[in-house]
């Protein structure tokens, strides 16, 4: 018997059709789903501080990226994930913990209505409240993975084991979302002087 090890499938750019496949309602293609998957994360029974999270994706020239798709993953207000692999306790059944939005064709922005996440254990300590982001767009061969922390959680951020591992700590500010009138604003810069810190996994 000859051993034929499986090889990794080559990566490909998301192409110009990522929105059609993942957010058809956003593209004006009705009837696929009642609403785009990931469009809603909360309902009227969700526990926690409601926030509007505005995310803007920019290229190296500070030009809005008009065809990006952003997914967010986060814990609920008590720090539990809506996942079978989180066995620490029961997550809020009225909170999905996951959202997906396409960026606006003019502004490069997308907006999530969510809750501020709780702290999650890591080793012997706690991570600061954070949201994990995944970004794809035409020209991005492998989806980009980063995190969003909250600028008004300075004490928790100082204790966070992931933030503390960033080699050039001055770049940690690229992971901070700033408080606005109704929530938080966060810029993802793909290149340039203030390029967002991205993670391998």
Domain ranges of the chain: 18-189
CA distance 63 to 78: 37
pLDDT tens digits, one per residue of 76-117: 999 999 988 888 889 999 999 999 999 998 899 999 999 999
**pLDDT tens readout for residues 17-29:** 777 788 888 888 8
H or E stretch covering 70: strand 69-74
Whether the model pTM is above 0.85? yes
In CATH, which superfamily holds the domain spanning 18-189?
Answer: Aromatic compound dioxygenase (2.60.130.10)
């Amino acid at each position: 018997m000859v051993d034929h090890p499986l090889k990794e499938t080559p990566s490909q750019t998301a192409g110009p059709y990522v929105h059609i496949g993942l957010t058809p309602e956003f593209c004006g293609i009705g009837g696929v789903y009642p609403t785009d998957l990931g469009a809603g994360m909360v309902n009227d029974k969700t526990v926690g501080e409601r926030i509007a999270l505005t995310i803007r994706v920019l290229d190296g020239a500070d030009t809005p990226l008009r065809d990006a798709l952003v997914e967010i993953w986060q814990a609920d207000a008590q720090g539990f994930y809506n996942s079978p692999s989180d066995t620490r306790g029961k997550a809020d059944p009225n909170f999905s913990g996951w959202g997906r939005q396409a960026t606006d064709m003019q502004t490069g922005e997308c907006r999530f209505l969510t809750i501020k996440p709780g702290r999650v254990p890591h080793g012997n300590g706690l991570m600061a409240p954070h949201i994990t982001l995944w970004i794809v767009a035409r020209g991005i061969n492998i989806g980009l993975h980063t995190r969003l922390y909250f600028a008004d959680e300075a004490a928790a951020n100082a204790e966070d084991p992931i933030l503390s591992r960033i080699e050039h700590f001055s770049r940690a500010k690229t992971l901070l979302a700033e408080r606005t009138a109704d929530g938080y604003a966060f810029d993802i810069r793909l290149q340039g002087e203030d390029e967002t810190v991205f993670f391998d996994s």
